Every structure is written in structure tokens, then in C-alpha cells.
Amino acid sequence: MTKVLLEDSRAIAGYYTLATGQVDFGDLPGDVAKKLPKRMLPVAILAWLGVASEQHGKGLGRLLLAQALLDCYDAGKTFPFIAVVLDCVDDASKAFYQHFDFLEFPGHPYRLFLSAAQLEAMMG
């Protein structure tokens, strides 16, 4: 699913794409994995999130992330998953997501996750 935010109904101001996928329980931190079955586990994937360069600094990234997480939360009521997963392109994007409590996958410093429990707490 892709959502696009338009500026003045003409130009794209920002967008995000969500998908589904799986991760191996062994890729998760030990404290998370010990509570889960030892198999591939369903996840929501934040595949893309972008803001047009002329829109930087206006808080659109934060708004798009909030909407993407709300969409994941709503979808999780029908199709449960254990986490929202994303891959960062650089240190700046990593810092952005870590500000919202995303954590690193062990051994994969640019792959981050937000557990379904954390997501639920955010939405509570």
C-alpha cells in the first residue's frame, strides 16, 4: 500500500509504502526472540518514506511516519505481526527513526524495528 501527500493538489510533498514480510526469529534480539516461536515470523515493512526536498523541515516526515504507524496498527487487528521493520539509507534517517523508539536488529545496524507491543503502547 502506498499513500501520497500532495502539495496544493499538484506536487508530491511526501509518501510512504507499507508491505508485509517475514523475519527469522534468530535475527531478533534475544529478549524479544525468546518469547516467540522458532520460525519465520510476520512483520509489517515500512518499505519507503520520503519527503520532497523543498518540504524538508516542515514536520512532514513525522506526520507521514505517524500515519504509516497508525495504518500498521489498524492492519495488525486483521493480520497480526510481531514488529514494524525498516531499512535506513544513512545515519540521518537512522537517527530519525530511533527518535521514535525503533531499535537495531543485532548485527544489522541499518535495519530497525518497532515491536508490535511498542506500537500498541504508542496507539494507546
CA-to-CA distance for 120 and 124, rounded, in angstroms?
6
With residue 68 as reference, give the H or E element that holds it: helix 60-76
In the CATH hierarchy, which fold is given to the domain comprising 2-123?
Aminopeptidase (3.40.630)
Q: Where are the domains of the chain?
A: 2-123
Residue of 15, 16, 73, 97 marked active site: 97
Place of cell 531478533: 28
Give the predicted TM-score (pTM) of the model.
0.91
pLDDT tens-digit map of 12-35:
999 999 999 999 988 888 888 887
Q: Is 110 part of the annotated catalytic residue set?
A: no
Tens of pLDDT, residue by residue over 79-113, are 999 999 999 999 999 999 999 999 999 889 999 99
